[in-house]
Structures are given as structure tokens and as C-alpha cells.
Amino acid sequence: MGNDLDTEAGVTSTLDEHGVLSVTLDDGNKNALTPEVFEALIAALDADTGARAVVVTGRPGILTAGLDIKWMAANGRDGVEHLLVRFGECLMRWWTDPRPTVCAATGHAIAAGTMLAMACDHAVADRDGFWGLTETRIDFEIPDFGLALARANVRADRLEDLLLPGERITATQAVDAGFADVAVAPDEVVDVAHRRARELAELPARAYAGTKSRLRGEAAEAVLGGLRADIALLTAHLA
């Protein structure tokens, strides 16, 4: 069953016979992220589809190239603040969705792409792709929502040496560090992700949702409670 969410934003969804909802980013280019994309990603989870699990994926060769730099340049500080607030809200919504969520990273997953993958319960990487929270290298601080996801996913002994210099790493290194869970051949990414989603969907839904809430709920609430203040502080130098 198909269900177009926002084709202008390059986000579509399809529910399969196993009850797995596939949410696909494909703008025909690099899947640059705008507020409209974040709104469509939230809408995908909020839609009453009866999905038992959710897979988010990109187009061949790319999950997402990250935030839309041209959009940011054209919309000034207010626009950048709006973009980052919506990004944080989107990631926290995905991170706390009660159903199993899996990222099929069909290519590079740099910066915002790495964050989107970490917001899912399981991430399958294209072994030819690159990963990393590279914000420092473009003179950008990592927002609190990105740090919360990193602390929950990345090995403690790798956290600072990866984030402070903004290291770009291979998919294999991303698995070792904790950004992703498994790296496979490019043509296997989507199938492996769907297989994992079906496996997780077989677990008792109430217990799965409750445990996820216990693991992440408090941290997500803290992020959302301070989100606007954090983004205002982060963008103050743009005034």
C-alpha cells in the first residue's frame, strides 16, 4: 500500500504486507534536509497506518548529505534556528517512537545523516559509505540533541576523539564506534534493514515500547525542554 507524504519534500512512505512502514528520502539529488523534510518525517510516524515497525532509507548512494546549506544561507539566522529546532524535534520523535525503528543507510550518512541513523533503534550501513559527526570541521557546534544521541550510541572511549575533531570515518569504523550496528554490501542494505525490522516487530510491543521509554524518555524530555534555548545559544554568532 502506497502513501505519499510529501513528494515535494522528497519523502514518501509504503506499508508492506509484514506491517513494516518504509519511509524513503529521495529528492533526486543529495537528500538535503529542510524544515519540510523534518515535518514529513514526523508526519510519517504520526500517520495512523497500523505499522508494526518503521524503516527509514535514502536513495542509492546517499542517505542524506545533511542540512541544506543553500536553504540556510537564504533564510538567515531566524531560518537556521527554525531549521535546527525542527531537526531536534524530528530526531527526538524518531528516537522515542514506541515501535521498532531501523535506518537503512543507503550510502553516505555524514553529520545530520549520522544523527538520523542514531535516532533509530538499529542502523544498517552501506559498507562503502562514510559516517561521522563532522560539525566541528565546518565551524558548527553539535546541538544538545546530537550530543544526547551520541552519548546513547557511541562507545564512551571514542566519544570525544570522534566528536571534537569531527572525524569522518568509514562504515566499518562507524560500526565499531557505535554510530551504526552492521555494515553490508550496498545492494543488501535495504533487505537487511527490513529483515531486522520484521524481527524486532515480533517482540512483545508493550514491553518493547515501555523499555524504550524508560531508556530514552527522560533524556528526550530534557532535550526538548531546552531545545529553543540551546539553538538560540548555538546560533548567537550568526546575528
Catalytic residue among 8, 39, 81, 135: 135
Q: Contact at 8 Å (CB) between 159 and 151?
A: yes
Establish whether 160 is a catalytic residue: no
Active site residues: 135
